[in-house]
Amino acid sequence: MINKKKKTAMYILMVLITLLVVFPFIWMLVLSFKTNSEILSAPLSLPNSLNVENYRNAFKTLDFLSLYGNTLFVCVISLVIELIITFFSSFVLSRMEFKNRKVVSLIYGFLIMGLSISPFILLFPVYKINVALGLRGLFALIFPYVATSISFNTLLLVGYLKSLPTEIDEAAVIDGCSIWDLMLKVILPMAKPVIATIVIFNVLYIWNEYPFASVMLRDISDYTLSMGASFFKGTYTVDYGGIVASSVLIIIPELIFYGLFQKNIVEGMTAGAVKG
């Protein structure tokens, strides 16, 4: 009887948490079918009629092909650089033997300390660095995205690699594997679950990131998806319906992407939490 009550309470709690998470999107979806006057006068009520004018304006105003293309370009380039840096550094920190392990632990500690630094305080220093290096447009976003993701990626991957038995390395060396074969042919395939998790988290991060994009991007042709909604904000007026409708169109691919790969996220997070 007690277990049944606990299960019921757990289900109720799960339903409440789900509603709490889903409500903002449902509310935004409802708002997207309202006129600006309805949004301002009664934001929590249902629309008087199913108004699709906001979506028409969104497609007329925004070049979604360019926005999606720019975002995917930044995602792919940033991810390739991140994965190369993260994998090799994590392998060194977790699998290789050094005489002075304290130095390695110190380096790892400094990397993880990056999680405590808010990316927003880096906005203007990074902007100055980009200007000094001559980086403009979409390439100006790649450096900050890589830099702000390395700490989290390293935390996940080092934790996972530490959970793998060292006997794997010893057996590979006995079989004649070089250090490169060990990394690329043995360890890399085994790290696919956590690498998939890193890819998913970083795609969602870059897809939604606004502060760096708003500071670094000056040319409209370079705008990413997160900047799309800013087209509906003028100097003296704001098209709330357009902002909400464009936000819905930007979020839907994210939801599909997350729904397709949510199992990989769970596998990667649990695998990386086994040890380390």
Q: What is the pLDDT of residues 16-57, one digit of tens each?
A: 998 888 888 888 888 889 888 888 888 778 888 788 888 988
**Cβ of 56: how many Cβ atoms within 10 Å?**
12
Q: Which amino acid is at 192?
A: K
Is pLDDT above 60 for 276?
A: no
More confident residue, 212 or 269: 212
Lowest mean pLDDT among 75-79, 141-145, 241-245, 268-272: 268-272
pLDDT at residue 274 greater than cutoff 60: no
Q: What is the pLDDT of residue 109?
A: 84
Question: What pLDDT does residue 267 have?
Answer: 67
- 80 in a domain, yes or no? yes
Would you say residue 265 has pLDDT above 80? no
Predicted pLDDT of residue 5: 77
Asked if residue 224 is part of any domain, the answer here is: yes
Q: What pLDDT score was predicted for residue 71?
A: 93
Q: Indicate which CATH number applies to the domain containing 242.
A: 1.10.3720.10
What percent of the chain stands above pLDDT 70?
94
φ/ψ (deg, to 5) at 206: -65, -35
134 in a domain, yes or no?
yes
Q: What's the pLDDT at 43? A: 78
User: Average pLDDT, stretch 69-75?
Assistant: 93
Residue 236 has pLDDT above 70, yes or no: yes
Residue 145: its pLDDT value, please? 93
Residue among 246, 220, 243 at smallest CA distance from 138: 220
pLDDT of 78? 95
Q: For 96, list phi and psi in degrees, rounded to 5.
A: -90, 145
Asked whether residue 37 is domain-assigned, the answer is no
Over residues 133-160, the pLDDT tens digits come to 888 889 999 989 998 899 899 988 988 8
Q: Which residues contact 241 (CB under 8 A, 6 or more apart)?
A: 31, 32, 34, 35, 36, 39, 51, 53, 54, 57
In this predicted structure, what is the pLDDT of residue 173?
85
Please write down the HEC assignment for all residues of the chain.
CHHHHHHHHHHHHHHHHHHHHHHHHHHHHHHCCCCHHHHHHCCCCCCCCCCCHHHHHHHHHCCHHHHHHHHHHHHHHHHHHHHHHHHHHHHHHHHCCCCCHHHHHHHHHHHHHHHHCCHHHHHHHHHHHHHHHCCCCCHHHHHHHHHHHHHHHHHHHHHHHHHCCCHHHHHHHHCCCCHHHHHHHHHHHHCHHHHHHHHHHHHHHHHHCCHHHHHHCCCHHHCCHHHHHHHHECCCCECHHHHHHHHHHHHHHHHHHHHHHHHHHHHHHHHHCCCC
The count of structural domains within the chain is 1
Flag whether 69 is in a domain: yes
Asked if the structure places residue 7 within a domain, the reply is: no
Interval 212-225 mean pLDDT = 89
Question: Which pLDDT tens digit goes with each residue over 81-116?
Answer: 999 999 999 998 888 877 777 787 888 888 888 788
The per-residue pLDDT for range 203-214, each reduced to its tens digit, is 989 998 988 998
**Residue-level pLDDT at 165:** 87
Task: Specify the pLDDT at position 70.
Answer: 93
pLDDT at 82: 94
Domain with 152, as residue range(s), is 52-272
The answer to whether position 28 is within a domain reads: no
On average, the pLDDT of the chain sits at 85
pTM: predicted TM-score of the whole model, two decimal places: 0.81
On whether residue 108 sits in a domain, the answer given is: yes
